[in-house]
Amino acid sequence: MQFFNLHTHKFTNQPDLLELVNQYPWEFDATIPFYSIGIHPWFIVEERLESDFAIIERQLQESGCLAVGECGLDKRIVIPMELQQLVFEKQLFLAQKYQKPVVIHCVAAFQELIEITKKLNITVPILIHGFSKSEQLAKQLLDNGFYISFGKYLLQSRSFGTELETVFKSMPDDRFFLETDTAEESLATVYALAAKYKGISVEEIQKQVNSNFANVFKIKF
């Protein structure tokens, strides 16, 4: 494996690229070899939760299912936080039961996220996808054992000169991942920018991410 994409919504089936494709239980595609599966807070439908959870639990027992998610909390949507938290906590319990990492979507609710994982004593790896926030928040997440994934917003930092370049440069080598999410740019572009910001070669970035992948997902390719 040369490249690992922590989070994408599009399966491109390229050689030497392992894509963790985001899947939703109500539209699960069995032809995708490696995926995460979960209920995004935007798409919670109470009447469908029983069947959604049944599909998630079934797929978590398959070898191609590498993680739960994306799931999490979002304070900027109309779905009540109480319901979001209920759905999120149930997914955390499933992740713990089947020992799968969790890919997180979090908007304006990072303190609640930290509190919930502590309260539930979640020990599986928690991965924050699409990070775009401050160095202070990144440090708090790292101090609480989280991993952080960069992609779309890191690419945007080239144009807007955001703090994100500084955040990424300060990331411990064993705690970051790279992704495309919904970006039009290729994963190779993300890796090239990450290598530039870290001041190392793309090959060294590949080696580090592959090492992190092996540590978190307990799989070697």
pLDDT digits (tens, 9 = 90+) for 16-36: 999 999 999 999 999 999 999
Complete domains list, the chain, with CATH: 3-217 (3.20.20.140)
Q: Are 156 and 184 in contact (CB under 8 A)?
A: no
pLDDT digits (tens, 9 = 90+) for 67-99: 999 999 999 999 999 999 999 999 999 999 999
Cα→Cα distances 80→63, 88, 95, 99, 169, Å: 34, 12, 23, 28, 36
What pLDDT score does 219 carry? 84
What pLDDT score does 90 carry? 98
What pLDDT score does 221 carry? 64
What pLDDT score does 138 carry? 97
Q: Are 207 and 1 in contact (CB under 8 A)?
A: no
What pLDDT score does 65 carry? 98
Amino acid at 112: E
Query: Locate tokens 């599009």: which residue?
Result: 10
Q: Are 59 and 65 in contact (CB under 8 A)?
A: yes
Where the chain has pLDDT below 70, the residues are 1, 160-161, 221
Q: Are 26 and 211 in contact (CB under 8 A)?
A: no
Residue 108's CB is within 10 A of a number of other CB atoms, namely 11
